[in-house]
């Protein structure tokens, strides 16, 4: 089986810090290679992989202001499709744009939909759903306009996250600084519950950061650490009393949520999008509707068994399970047996 894995080129695969799509692509690619699958990774030239690396874009465009993203993404995608017939299957992680090439080759294409940036991109997905197989990353993130082959939850490498049963006293916000992610609400939750807040993540909305976040940063009770790499991420997540995830949008999945639980750290999240599929309420965290309920949950964190958080992730969100799910999908497509059972919902208890 020869797989062409199409990664985004906004960030390196795997990313140095931020880059959730690239992180998933890397974990899947390395997992497939470890299973003996012949994978060619189409990513940036500085990517790190045990697979065969093929590229035209030398560096991530988010790290190089001289690079025009539209120019290089067009060249990147075209580079794969110019040699598409050399592969048994293409796995697309580059959103909707590669779909418009899918009818130019007989090689089947699987598209993992990592979320919808806007409803305006749906016409492309609708137009090409008869020539591509769609995978959702949660049941909550499915569009009623589209047909899906399966839901495959993301998986993580458990040994990258250290379990800690004795956390510190701080709360953690770990994610994009953006209104959708509820950065300001995380500050409010920490302040009202009387806890220190550490924050890490890229500033995606500078105006929001300057008006709603920066005035509260005093480097004592509210500390902004910027973006962090894997080692510091592990320490921050594992030593936190809880991860705050007060989102204001339908979160497609939420890698930081399972990463925190892998360290034994429970998550307090607004009950939107995929959160009921990822968090077991009152067992691996709390699903709440507002800041007040989040503060009440902070006071109940001692009731959460941190080891159960780790076991929940090990059983449902490990990289081995993700790789196996995708292998079954690949084999079913190539054998013309596409009745792969979809994952309807996650268990509601441990």
Tokens at residue 310, please? 């780790």
The reported pLDDT for the residue numbered 66 is: 86
Tokens at residue 23, please? 């992180």
Spatial CA neighbour of 252 closest among 268, 272, 270: 272
The reported pLDDT for the residue numbered 23 is: 95
The reported pLDDT for the residue numbered 54 is: 98
What domains, with CATH codes, occur in the chain? Answer: 2-155+318-334 (3.40.50.2000), 158-314 (3.40.50.2000)
Cα 82 versus chain centre, distance: 29
The reported pLDDT for the residue numbered 98 is: 96
**CA dist., res. 192 & res. 248, Å (int):** 19
The reported pLDDT for the residue numbered 332 is: 94
**CA dist., res. 233 & res. 227, Å (int):** 9
- 311, exposed or middle or buried, with CB in 10 Å at 0-12, 13-18, 19+? middle
Q: What value does the CA radius of gyration of the chain take, rounded to a whole number of Å? A: 20
**CA dist., res. 50 & res. 33, Å (int):** 7
DSSP state of 239: T
The reported pLDDT for the residue numbered 336 is: 80
What CA–CA distances, in Å, run from 163 to 159, 308, 311, 313? 9, 11, 10, 11
pLDDT mean for each 10 residues of the chain (350 residues): 97 92 97 97 98 97 90 97 97 96 95 91 94 95 95 96 95 97 98 97 96 96 94 95 97 96 98 97 98 98 97 97 97 78 49
Q: For the beta carbon of residue 40, count every other beta carbon within 10 angstroms.
A: 21
DSSP state of 228: -
Q: In what order do the strands lie in the sheet with 38-42?
A: 52-54, 38-42, 2-6, 89-92, 109-113, 133-136, 150-151
**CA dist., res. 2 & res. 72, Å (int):** 25
**CA dist., res. 111 & res. 150, Å (int):** 11
Residues 6+ apart with CB under 8 A from 259: 156, 161, 233, 237
What CA–CA distances, in Å, run from 109 to 40, 99, 102, 153? 14, 9, 7, 19
Name the one residue in this structure whose structure tokens are 């990774």. 41
């Amino acid at each position: 089986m020869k797989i062409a894995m199409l990664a985004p080129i906004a960030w390196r695969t795997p990313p140095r810090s931020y880059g959730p799509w690239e992180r998933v692509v890397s974990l899947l690619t390395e997992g497939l290679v470890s299973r003996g699958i012949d994978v060619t990774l189409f990513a940036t030239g500085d990517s790190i992989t045990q697979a065969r690396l093929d590229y035209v874009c030398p560096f991530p465009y988010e790290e190089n202001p001289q690079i025009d993203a539209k120019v290089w993404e067009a060249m990147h995608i075209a580079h794969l499709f110019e040699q598409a017939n050399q592969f048994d299957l293409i796995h697309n992680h580059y959103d909707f744009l590669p779909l418009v090439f899918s009818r130019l080759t007989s090689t089947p294409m699987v598209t993992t939909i990592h979320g919808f940036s806007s409803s305006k991109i749906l016409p492309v997905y609708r137009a090409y759903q008869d020539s591509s197989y769609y995978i959702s990353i949660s049941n909550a993130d499915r569009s009623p306009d589209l047909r899906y082959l399966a839901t495959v939850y993301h998986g993580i490498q458990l040994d990258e996250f250290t379990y800690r049963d004795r956390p510190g006293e701080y709360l953690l916000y770990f994610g994009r600084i953006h209104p959708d992610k509820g950065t300001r609400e995380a500050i409010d939750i920490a302040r009202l519950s009387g806890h220190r807040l550490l924050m890490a993540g890229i500033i995606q909305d500078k105006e929001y950061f300057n008006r709603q976040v920066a005035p509260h940063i005093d480097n004592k009770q509210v500390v902004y650490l910027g973006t962090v790499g894997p080692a510091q991420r592990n320490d921050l997540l594992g030593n936190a009393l809880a991860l705050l995830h007060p989102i204001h949008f339908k979160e497609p999945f939420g890698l930081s949520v399972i990463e925190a639980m892998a360290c034994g750290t429970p998550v307090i999240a607004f009950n939107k999008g995929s959160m009921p599929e990822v968090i077991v309420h009152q067992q691996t965290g709390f699903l709440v509707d507002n800041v007040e309920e989040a503060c009440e949950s902070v006071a109940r964190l001692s009731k959460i068994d941190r080891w159960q958080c780790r076991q929940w992730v090990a059983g449902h969100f490990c990289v081995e399970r993700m790789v196996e799910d995708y292998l079954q999908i690949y084999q079913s497509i190539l054998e013309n047996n596409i009745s792969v059972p979809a994952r309807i919902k996650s268990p509601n208890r441990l």
